[in-house]
Structure 1
């Protein structure tokens, strides 16, 4: 669903489809949820009361699901208010192995390492969708991780298209940060399976 705005009782409600890439407990019944959307990029919402048993958000805000969202943009900061979320792709197959969850966590953390908050990232979002959909059906293999890093490096313009085997090092060098620790854990897991 395309990003849109609707006016509802003097409140501007925005809509988008996004992947839930992180969540942190806030107070007893609320969550801060991080999303990845093609039009909005990386952004955060406050899900007030999401952990209450009768909340319409209870059980919906799970990692790596794609959902249609409605939220109210903050007037003064970058933490918006989530009004509604409805699954479009729950990717339940990710929960079938530790390796799948580990690989999904790695690709999400890699994107949060390189993408700016609030900037459109349609190609990166599409790459993430393809990786998560693959992992919902199959265990990770080294070629998946190498290819993901390769395509991400090409999209960012830090490695020439078709140049293989240097993407991970190029990402570290370009962003002056180490790759997420899940990469090493994932390599170890794949070597054992």
Structure 2
């Protein structure tokens, strides 16, 4: 059984009472676990597997696929404040989707994980601002070697799009629109 600290970045229903849970962990990278029976009323995982939480988890690595079995998860940081604002949820969703766009499954990503932790912790207490989004994109592009470190051209998002030959997640434009409407 393996143990790691990870951020819950996605989940989907599997069968009637189980979930497939996607995680971002510093050493394990992006990984998927099957949370068997997580939706049953007496499951120890019920109510624990919520988006953007950090948890200490134990899982059994699969020998034949990339879907591992979740044995246990305990909150280390629930980040409940993100749920206080649609803009916060939208920004957190964009940042997570951006990371999943550029990271290969199973690759250690300690720096990217730390960057995501800092951004999500910020969103726990504050609404998103354009600087958060552009700085996150800039740091991510620097870590990936797409743009030179310290060069702040504001073009990191385009560099990521060009380098990976994929469009940025639609949530980027949605969060930018939300911030424009809620600017103080």
Q: TM-score, length-normalised on structure 1?
A: 0.93
Number of residue pairs matched by the alignment: 181
Alignment-derived partner of residue 24 in structure 2? 36
Alignment-derived partner of residue 15 in structure 2? 27
Bigger drift between 84-93 and 158-167 goes to 158-167
Distance in 1 of aligned mates of 2:88 and 2:41: 29
* 4+ residue segments displaced more than 4 Å: none
Distance in 1 of aligned mates of 2:150 and 2:56: 35
Unaligned runs of 5+ in 1: 1-12
Q: Secondary structure of the equivalent of 1:17? A: strand
Alignment-derived partner of residue 176 in structure 2? 187
| Structure 2 residue 10 is matched with structure 1 residue 49 | no
Q: Secondary structure of the equivalent of 1:45? A: strand
Alignment-derived partner of residue 142 in structure 1? 130
2:164 corresponds, among 157, 175, 185, to 175
Give deviations 1:125-158, integer Å, cap 9, x for gaps: 0000000000001000000000000000000000
Q: How does 1:90-169 map to 2 (within 5 A)?
A: 90-164=78-152, 165-169=154-158
Q: Secondary structure of the equivalent of 1:125? A: helix
Give the C-alpha shift of residue 189 in structure 1: 0.1
